[in-house]
Amino acid sequence: MSWTHTFTNLCDWYTHLLHNSPTGTIHIHILRNTITSNPDNVEHILKTRFDNYPKGKPFSTILDDRLGKGIFNVDGDYWKFQRKMASLELGSVVIRSYAFETVMDEIQTRLIPVMASKAHGENGTEIKTVLDLQDILRRFSFDINCKLSFGLDPGCLLPSLPVSNLADAFDLTSKLSAERAMNVSPMIWKMKRFFNVGSEKKLREAVNVVSNSANEIIKQRREMGFATRKDLLSRFMGLINNDDIYLRDIVISFLLAGRDTIAAGLTGFFSLLSKNPRVEEMIRKELNQVLGPDQESPTFDQLRQMHYLNATVHESLRLFPPVQFDSKHAEEDDVLPDGTIVKKGSRVTYHPYAMGRMKKIWGPDCLEFNPERWLKDGLFVQQDPFKYPVFQAGPRVCLGKDLALMNMKSVVAALVPRFDIRVVEPHHEPQFVPGLTTTFRGGLPVKVIEKKMLST
Ligand code: HEM
């Protein structure tokens, strides 16, 4: 724990060690964990020797109660089947337009009104209201992902900002499952689970709340019919008969995939934008050019035309990736391209957070928020996915990447022209809560100033 004297977060200490390692790789002996920031190694693990680096049993055991046989938690045939089915669905026009309509509706009817209700006018006097933007974005994300996954509206972003038992239970399962991974030995949590005490008792209760809600929705959907509905559950119900537990595991994985990641991505985005008014002005300028004076929100196609907006979202995900690290387990002994020896059964981790902060990969200005690095002659240019594995890469690349980017860009395009969003303590280095996805400890306290809309 000596790192805590110098670094705020474990990921910052790993970044420091990886930066100082000539190969960009380190080995943490007591954890039997090889951690790499070397793009050649990442390509080797995620693509070239994909078969040698499954998630493995140590990972699936930790998340088994929560995710069961959902896509996140399985390898082999279970994974192949879900991957095929899900990529067909997520790539379909029906799901894409349903997702876009859902996001736009939530933005117009809930997100903008809630932000406006907490905002102050441009000429307002002293601004006192402080809003936790992370909380608002998590509510937004829970609503849209429940609608997409289950066709259910939990109403977390209604004006009263209600408490949702389902959202709370879902969050508790994330927190307690992540804490399992922090035990020195898995025997500790397994014993607690066996005796059903402490955090394991709470985890079991929270998992039951989520599972029971999902079971209830599946039951109702069977009774009411699902053929004409567009959410993922209904689409998968048409493909999987008579296995409601499997169906439940699949959709809970999707809820997890989309909920925490999008909220984390947007929280990081607004924390960076608050300190970069130049970038904010460039986004407004591009929106003005594409939308003109009379149109308030972009269409799906217009979002795709906004190269600067796309660059800012990619750039913020580089510095604040929602999944900071991701581990696999070696099936057989291996040697990575940089010469690191990997022993059978050991853990191998690639680290998008550290990689986004490496001079070797991004140059001397790697810590700056500079969307221009993604543009060539004003056009967005993709980077090598193995040097930017924010969405993973190779055969298991994130299936929701396009959806997530559409979602984030829609929120930015809606909020940036209407509000100046300013972090209350901009120089305070973020502290992260340990977990599977990035969460800012203490939230993201902001002040919101409403701008006069350009068309008025
Ligand atoms: C900014 C938002 C997002 C980021 C940064 C992100 C990142 C990732 C990463 C790193 C993985 C690999 C995880 C692992 O294997 O352990 C992953 C997998 C996955 N993501 Fe995303 N994700 C995002 C949003 C979404 C959304 C919105 C959806 C769907 C609605 C989604 C669906 C999935 C699925 C299904 C997988 C599993 C793919 C497989 O195992 O074959 N993601 N994502």
Q: What pLDDT digit, counting tens, does each position of 356-388 carry?
A: 999 999 999 999 999 999 999 999 999 999 999
Helix/strand/coil (H/E/C) assignment for every residue in the chain: CHHHHCCCCHHHHHHHHHHHCCCCEEEEHHHCEEEECCHHHHHHHHHHCHHHCCCCHHHHHHHHHHHCCCHHHCCHHHHHHHHHHHHHHHHCHHHHHHHHHHHHHHHHHHHHHHHHHCCEECCCCCCCCCEEHHHHHHHHHHHHHHHHHHCCCCCCCCCCCCCCHHHHHHHHHHHHHHHHHCCCCHHHHHHHHHHCCHHHHHHHHHHHHHHHHHHHHHHHHHHHCCCCCCCHHHHHHCCCCCCHHHHHHHHHHHHHHHHHHHHHHHHHHHHHHHCCHHHHHHHHHHHHHHHCCCCCCCCHHHHHHCHHHHHHHHHHHHHCCCCCCEEEECCCCEECCCCCEECCCCEEEECHHHHCCCHHHHCCCCCCCCHHHHEECCEECCCCCCCCCECECHHHCCCCHHHHHHHHHHHHHHHCCCEEEEECCCCCCCCECCCCCCCECCCCEEEEEECCCCCC
- Give yes or no for residue 391 CB within 6 A of ligand 1: yes
What mean pLDDT, rounded, does the chain reach? 92
Q: How many whole angstroms from 369 Cα to the centroid of ligand 1?
A: 24
pLDDT at 396 over 70: yes
Separation between Cα atoms, residue 323 and residue 432, nearest integer Å: 12
Amino acid at 121: G
* pLDDT on residue 61: 86
Separation between Cα atoms, residue 248 and residue 71, nearest integer Å: 11
Residue with tokens 């399962």: 173
Q: Which of 86-90, 175-179, 287-291 has the lowest mean pLDDT?
A: 175-179
- Give yes or no for residue 262 CB within 6 A of ligand 1: yes
Q: What pLDDT digit, counting tens, does each position of 404-432 carry?
A: 999 999 999 999 999 999 999 888 889 99
pLDDT grade, residue 119 (50/70/90)?
A: confident
- Give yes or no for residue 403 CB within 6 A of ligand 1: yes
The domain locations on the chain are 2-450
Residues 330 and 342: beta-carbon distance below 8 Å:
yes
Q: What pLDDT digit, counting tens, does each position of 21-64 carry?
A: 999 999 999 888 999 999 999 999 999 999 999 999 888 888 88
β-pair partners for 35: 26, 349
pLDDT grade, residue 455 (50/70/90)?
A: very low
- Give yes or no for residue 404 CB within 6 A of ligand 1: yes
Q: How many whole angstroms from 123 Cα to the centroid of ligand 1?
A: 42
β-pair partners for 376: 379
Top pLDDT among 455 and 346 is at 346
Q: Residues 6 or more apart from 248 whose CB is under 8 A from it?
A: 68, 211, 214, 215, 218
**β-strand pairing of 120-121 with 445-450:** parallel
Average of pLDDT values for 317-329?
97
- Give yes or no for residue 83 CB within 6 A of ligand 1: yes
Q: How many whole angstroms from 71 Cα to the centroid of ligand 1?
A: 10
Amino acid at 207: V
- Asked whether residue 398 is marked as a ligand-binding residue, the answer is yes
Percentage of the chain beyond pLDDT 70 is: 97
* pLDDT on residue 235: 87
* pLDDT on residue 123: 59
pLDDT at 223 over 90: no
* pLDDT on residue 344: 96
Separation between Cα atoms, residue 130 and residue 109, nearest integer Å: 22
- Out of 42, 66, 81, 398, mutate this one to test ligand 1's pocket (max ligand atoms within 8 Å of CB): namely 398
Average of pLDDT values for 65-78?
89
Nearest CA owner, ligand 1 atom 39: 396
pLDDT grade, residue 456 (50/70/90)?
A: very low
- Give yes or no for residue 414 CB within 6 A of ligand 1: no
Residues 399 and 83: beta-carbon distance below 8 Å:
yes
Residues 425 and 308: beta-carbon distance below 8 Å:
no
Q: How many whole angstroms from 452 Cα to the centroid of ligand 1?
A: 37
Nearest atom, ligand 1, residue 389 CA: 10
Residues 71 and 83: beta-carbon distance below 8 Å:
yes
For 227, 267, 312, 419, 454, the CA distances from 281, given in Å and listed in that order, are 46, 19, 12, 12, 13
Q: What pLDDT digit, counting tens, does each position of 429-450 carry?
A: 899 998 889 999 999 999 999 9
Nearest atom, ligand 1, residue 326 CA: 16
Q: What pLDDT digit, counting tens, does each position of 180-196 carry?
A: 877 778 888 899 999 99
- Give yes or no for residue 282 CB within 6 A of ligand 1: no
- Give yes or no for residue 430 CB within 6 A of ligand 1: no
- Out of 261, 312, 314, 412, mutate this one to test ligand 1's pocket (max ligand atoms within 8 Å of CB): namely 261
Q: How many whole angstroms from 73 Cα to the centroid of ligand 1?
A: 12
Q: What pLDDT digit, counting tens, does each position of 258-297 carry?
A: 888 999 999 999 999 999 999 999 999 999 999 988 888 9
Average of pLDDT values for 315-322?
98
The CATH T-level fold of domain 2-450 is: Cytochrome p450 (1.10.630)
